[in-house]
Amino acid sequence: MIDKLDARLISLLDAEPRLGVLECSRRLGVARGTVQARLDRLVARGVVRGFGPDIDPAALGYGVTAFVTLQIRQVGGHDTVIGRLAAIPEMLEVHTITGGGDMLCRVVARTNADLQRVIDLIVGVEGVVRTSTVIALASPVPYRTLPLVQAVPAESGPAES
Amino acid sequence: MIDKLDARLISLLDAEPRLGVLECSRRLGVARGTVQARLDRLVARGVVRGFGPDIDPAALGYGVTAFVTLQIRQVGGHDTVIGRLAAIPEMLEVHTITGGGDMLCRVVARTNADLQRVIDLIVGVEGVVRTSTVIALASPVPYRTLPLVQAVPAESGPAES
DNA sequence: GAATCAGTGGACAAGATGCCCAGTGCATCC
DNA sequence: GGATGCACTGGGCATCTTGTCCACTGATTC
Q: CA of B58: which chain A residue's CA is closest?
A: A47
Look at chain A and report how many structural domains it folds into: 2
Which of A148, A150, A155, A161 to mutate to test binding with chain B, by most B CBs within 10 Å of its CB? A148
**CA torsion, ordered B80, B81, B87, B89, to nearest 10 deg:** -160
> What's CA A27's distance to the chain center, in Å?
28
> What's CA A22's distance to the chain center, in Å?
28
Question: Percentage of residues in chain B with pLDDT exceeding 90?
Answer: 88
User: Whole domain around residue B43: which residue ranges?
Assistant: 4-53
Q: What is the pLDDT of residues A3-61, one digit of tens each?
A: 999 999 999 999 999 899 999 999 999 999 999 999 999 999 999 999 999 999 999 99
Q: Is residue B161 part of a domain?
A: no
Question: Do residues B87 and B117 share a domain?
Answer: yes
Q: CA of B88: which chain A residue's CA is closest?
A: A147
Q: Is residue A143 part of a domain?
A: no
What integer pLDDT is reported at residue B158 of this predicted model?
37
3-state helix, strand, coil in chain A (%, to 5): 40, 25, 35
Judged by average pLDDT, the poorest of A146-160, B69-83, B93-107 is A146-160
Q: What is the pLDDT of residues A74-131, one digit of tens each?
A: 887 789 999 999 999 999 999 999 998 899 999 999 999 999 999 999 999 999 999 9
Question: Do residues A49 and A61 share a domain?
Answer: no
Q: Is residue A75 part of a domain?
A: yes
* Single-letter code of the amino acid located at A142: P
pLDDT at B156 over 70: no
Question: Do residues B104 and B132 share a domain?
Answer: yes
Q: Would the CB atoms of B148 and A108 count as touching at under 8 Å?
A: yes
Tally of residues, chain A: 161
Q: Is residue B143 part of a domain?
A: no
Report the C-alpha gap between B81 and B72 in whole angstroms: 8
- Where residue A161 falls among pLDDT bands split at 50, 70, 90? very low
Question: Do residues B80 and B127 share a domain?
Answer: yes
Residue B32 maps to which CATH number?
Answer: 1.10.10.10
Beta bridge partners of A71: A130
Question: Do residues B38 and B106 share a domain?
Answer: no
Q: Is residue B145 part of a domain?
A: no
CA atoms within 13 A on the CB side of B108: 22
Q: What is the DSSP letter of A62?
A: -
Kindly state the average pLDDT of the residues B53-59: 96
Question: Do residues B61 and B44 share a domain?
Answer: no
B13 → closest Cβ in A45, A52, A61 = A52
Question: Do residues A43 and A63 share a domain?
Answer: no
